[in-house]
């Protein structure tokens, strides 16, 4: 029998945390609940969760700091939970490395759906899933750049580059269709798979982070098409 995927729930509201846990357990997840940031950082290396549900307004160390600390050593998926619905708060969370941002109050069933969606995107494909079919390997290659979506790896000038799953998927999607322009809405729909309530700055944040890691190359670049969107431009 396959091992249950583990979810760490970090929320100082005991009722909300328990409700989330009940829904996740019903979907065959294993859960652990902590109520403050310090406890979350202490539990993380021992519990080794597959995903973290992280409230932002925590006593002591807040959720932003917890996310920042975890991102120093791990790319474990993080979904932020917050009553703050301003664009600034969402962008800040994404810039710190969150994989999703859910505004309170939320529907528990939607939360579970988001958890499953993030885990599908971030779980590496098992060898037996490919059934030995080489055509199932999804790789694009450019000078000094190899993007492998099958095992979620990127090599740049011969060195491995660690990317959060959404950044890698965005880079792969654009690089798979060189010189084709995609609107922000198209990229949101393909990479995230659902509406971000019109918050297309999500895409801008991820493009900015990718550009910081992949400086202009003489043969290719992530190019902005003003008033439209983005493309992977080859020269």
Q: What are phi and psi of 128, to 5 degrees?
A: -70, -20
pLDDT for 99 equals: 85
Q: Is the pLDDT of residue 200 over 50?
A: yes
User: What is the mean predicted confidence (pLDDT) over 91-119?
Assistant: 85
pLDDT for 52 equals: 96
Contact 173, 190 (CB under 8 A): yes
Report residue 80's pLDDT band, with 50, 70 and 90 as the boundaries: very high
The label of the residue with tokens 């994404």 reads 94
Q: Tell me what the pLDDT averaged over the chain comes to.
A: 84
Q: What is the Cα–Cα distance from 105 to 115, expressed in whole angstroms?
A: 16
Q: What is the Cα–Cα distance from 202 to 221, expressed in whole angstroms?
A: 20
Q: Is the pLDDT of residue 37 over 80?
A: yes
Q: Domain residues of the chain, as ranges?
A: 6-122, 128-234
CA distances from 76 to 51, 146, 182, 187, 212 (A): 6, 22, 28, 23, 21
17-196-136 Cα angle (round to 5) = 95
The pTM of the full predicted model, rounded to 2 decimals, is: 0.60
- Render pLDDT for 109-134 as a digit per residue (tens, 0 to 9): 888 888 988 888 776 544 444 444 43
Q: Higher pLDDT residue, 94 or 198? A: 94
pLDDT for 131 equals: 44
The label of the residue with tokens 């400086």 reads 215
- 149 φψ region: left (φ > 0), alpha (ψ -120 to 50), beta (else): alpha
CATH number of 6-122: 3.40.50.2300
Domain 128-234 listed as CATH 3.30.360.10: no
CA nearest 202: which of 106, 118, 88, 66? 88
Taken in order 124, 169, 186, 140, the sign of the CA dihedral is negative
User: What is the mean predicted confidence (pLDDT) over 12-33?
Assistant: 92
pLDDT for 113 equals: 87
CA distances from 82 to 70, 117, 212 (A): 18, 19, 27
Considering only 37-51, 118-132, 155-169, 218-232, which range has the smallest mean pLDDT? Answer: 118-132
pLDDT for 133 equals: 43
pLDDT for 50 equals: 93
Task: State the CB neighbour count (10 A cutoff) for residue 229.
Answer: 20
- Render pLDDT for 165-194 as a digit per residue (tens, 0 to 9): 888 989 999 998 888 888 888 888 788 765
User: What is the mean predicted confidence (pLDDT) over 186-215?
Assistant: 78
Q: Is the pLDDT of residue 39 over 90?
A: yes
Whether the domain at 6-122 and the domain at 128-234 fall into the same CATH topology:
no
pLDDT for 21 equals: 93
pLDDT for 30 equals: 93
């Amino acid at each position: 029998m396959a091992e249950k995927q583990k979810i760490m729930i970090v929320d100082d509201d005991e009722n909300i945390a328990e409700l989330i846990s009940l829904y996740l357990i019903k979907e065959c997840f294993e859960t652990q609940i902590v109520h403050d940031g310090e406890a979350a950082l202490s539990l993380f290396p021992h519990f080794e969760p597959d995903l973290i549900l992280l409230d932002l307004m925590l006593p002591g160390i807040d959720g932003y700091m917890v996310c920042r600390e975890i991102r120093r050593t791990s790319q474990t998926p993080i979904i932020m939970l917050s009553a703050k619905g301003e664009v600034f708060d969402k962008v800040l969370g994404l810039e710190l490395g969150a994989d999703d941002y859910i505004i309170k109050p939320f529907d528990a069933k939607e939360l579970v759906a988001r958890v499953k969606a993030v885990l599908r995107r971030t779980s590496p494909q098992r060898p037996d899933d490919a059934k030995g079919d080489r055509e199932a390997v999804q790789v694009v290659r450019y000078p000094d750049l190899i993007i492998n979506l099958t095992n979620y790896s990127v090599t740049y000038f011969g060195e491995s580059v660690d990317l959060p799953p959404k950044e890698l998927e965005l880079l792969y999607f654009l690089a798979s269709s060189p010189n084709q322009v995609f609107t922000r809405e198209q990229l949101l729909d393909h990479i995230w798979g659902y509406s971000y309530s019109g918050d297309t700055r999500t895409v801008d944040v991820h493009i900015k982070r990718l550009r910081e890691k992949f400086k202009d190359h003489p043969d290719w670049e992530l190019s902005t098409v003003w008033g439209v969107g983005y493309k992977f431009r080859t020269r």
